[in-house]
Amino acid sequence: MAGPFRKRPLPRLQCSPIGLVEKRTPGEYRLIQHLSFPEGASINDGIPQELCKVEYTSFDEAVALVAGEGEGALMAKSDIKSAFRLLPISPGDFELLGFKFEGNISSIRHCQWEQVVRVPEEKLRKLQEQLEKAVRSESMTLQRIQSLLGLLNFVCRAVAPGRAFMRRLIDLTKGVKGKSTRVTIGKGAREDLKMWLEFLRHFNGVSMFLAIDPIANSELQLFTDAAGGIGMGAFFQGHWTQMQWPGDILCLNPSIAFLELYPIVVAVQLWGEKMANQRIVFRSDNQAVVAIINRKTSKCTPIMSLVRMLVMSCLRFNIMFKAKHIPGVENSIADALSRFQFQRFRQLAPWADKVGTPCPRLVLDI
C-alpha cells in the first residue's frame, strides 16, 4: 500500500468507502472495502457478470484428494488473515482501489491434518444448545432454522451420513419469506432433531475420512435375509447370527419390508465397527427395502423405528449406506441361516465361525 497522501496521488483515483462488519465471535470485526457502492456507479458495476462468479475448492474435494493418496498422507492448510490484501494488483487497476485508511499487517498460520476431520468443541456445544432449544419449540423463526442448518452442515463435513437428516429441516424453509417469520416444527423434523441430539451425546468430534469408492455388500461378504414365519439370518466375513421370529414381532403382522430390514439393522449393530468409514451399497431384490434405505423414512411406525436404529449406527460408525435394486440377488448363505438349515449353511460357508454371534433383540419404539 502506498500512502497516506494529503492529495490524490493519481488524477483518476477512485475512493470507495470502508467499514467494519461484525464477525460471528462477539466483539470481533472484519474490515471491508465496499466496492459495490454507490449502486450503479461502483467499481464492481464495471465488471462483466460472467467474470463475477468465484468457485473455491470444496471441503469434500480436499478430503477426497488426501484420501486418494492413502494412509500416511498429510494435508497442510494455510490460513491467511486478510488474504485478499496479499493478492497482487495489476498496475492498471491502482486507480480503482483508493481508500483513506491504512491496511493491517497480515499473519500466516500453518496446520497439518491427519486423515480425520475434527469438529471444534465450541461448534459441538453451540449445536447441542440450539438442538435442545429447537426440540422444545413448537415453532422457530426462519433465521433460527437457517442458523441451525448452518451448524448441522458444518458438522456433516465430518459426519457425512448425517446429511440425509437435514432434508426435512431444509424443507421447512422453502417458500418462507422474512427472517422473523415463524415456522411450525413438524413431527418428522422433530424426530430428526432428536436423532441429532442423541448422536451428539456420544460424538467426540473426530471422524475418519470416508472411503472414496463405494463397495457392494457382496464384496464385504455382508449378507442378510428373512424367512416369513421362520426367522432371520445375517452373515459378515465368517461371522453369523440368526433368530427365530418372536411372538411380539409376529403379532405385529409385519410386512416383508420390515422383516428384510430387521437383519440389516442387526448386522450393522453387531459388526458396524468393522464396516466403519465405508460407502456401502446394499443390493436387494426387495424394492420396498431399497426405497426405505435410500429415503431413510417410512410411514410405517415399526419400520421407522428400525430406520432410526440403522441411521444411528451409521452415524456412530461413519458409514454411508445406500441400497440398489437387483432382481434375483444370490443370497444362499443368509437364506440358509434364516431358515435354520445348518447343514446347507455349513456346505455354503465351511470357513464360517463354529459358533454364531448372539443376536440382539431390537427394542422397537412403537
Backbone angles phi, psi at 241, to 5 degrees: -150, 160
For range 186-196, the mean pLDDT: 87
d(CA 228, CA 256): 7
CA distance 107 to 123: 24
Q: Which amino acid is at 142?
A: L
Per-residue confidence (pLDDT) for residue 153, from 0 to 100 = 87
Phi-psi region of 147 (alpha: psi -120 to 50; beta: other; left: phi over 0): alpha
Place of cell 418428522: 188
Q: Which of 257, 253, 251, 266 has its CA nearest to residue 337?
A: 266
**AA identity, residue 98:** G
* CATH 3.30.70.270, applies to 119-208: yes
Domain 215-348: homologous superfamily in CATH: Ribonuclease H-like superfamily/Ribonuclease H (3.30.420.10)
- Asked whether the beta carbons of 311 and 195 are under 8 A apart, the reply is yes
Please report, for residues 32, 44, 72, 132, 173, the alpha-carbon distance to residue 170 in angstroms, rounded to integers and kept in the order given.
31, 32, 37, 18, 6
In 3D, which of 25, 279, 298 has the Cα closest to residue 163?
A: 279
pLDDT in tens, 12-46: 777 888 888 887 777 888 778 788 888 888 888 88
Amino acid at 337: L
Confidence bin at 112 (pLDDT 50/70/90): very low
Q: What is the pLDDT of residues 288-327, one digit of tens each?
A: 999 999 888 788 888 988 988 898 888 888 888 889 887 7
Going from N- to C-terminal start, the domains of the chain cover 18-114, 119-208, 215-348
User: How does DSSP assign 82-147, residue by residue?
Assistant: TGGGGS---GGGGGG-B-SSPPPPP-EEEEEE-SEEE--HHHHHHHHHHHHHHHH-SEEEHHHHHH
* pLDDT score recorded for residue 231: 95
Which CA distances in Å does 346 have to 168, 217, 243, 353, 355?
46, 21, 17, 10, 12
- Give dist(CA 207, CA 286) in Å, integer: 32
pLDDT per position as a tens digit, 51-110? 777 777 787 788 788 888 887 887 777 666 656 655 667 767 777 777 766 543 222 222
Beta-carbon contacts of residue 88 (< 8 Å; ≥ 6 apart): none
Q: Where are the alpha helices (DSSP H) in 157-279?
A: 167-173, 187-200, 247-250, 256-271
- Find out whether 174 and 161 touch, Cβ atoms under 8 Å: no
Distance CA 85, CA 83 (A): 5
Q: What is the pLDDT of residues 203-234, one digit of tens each?
A: 877 777 777 788 888 888 999 999 988 999 99
Is-contact 260 286, C-beta < 8 A? yes
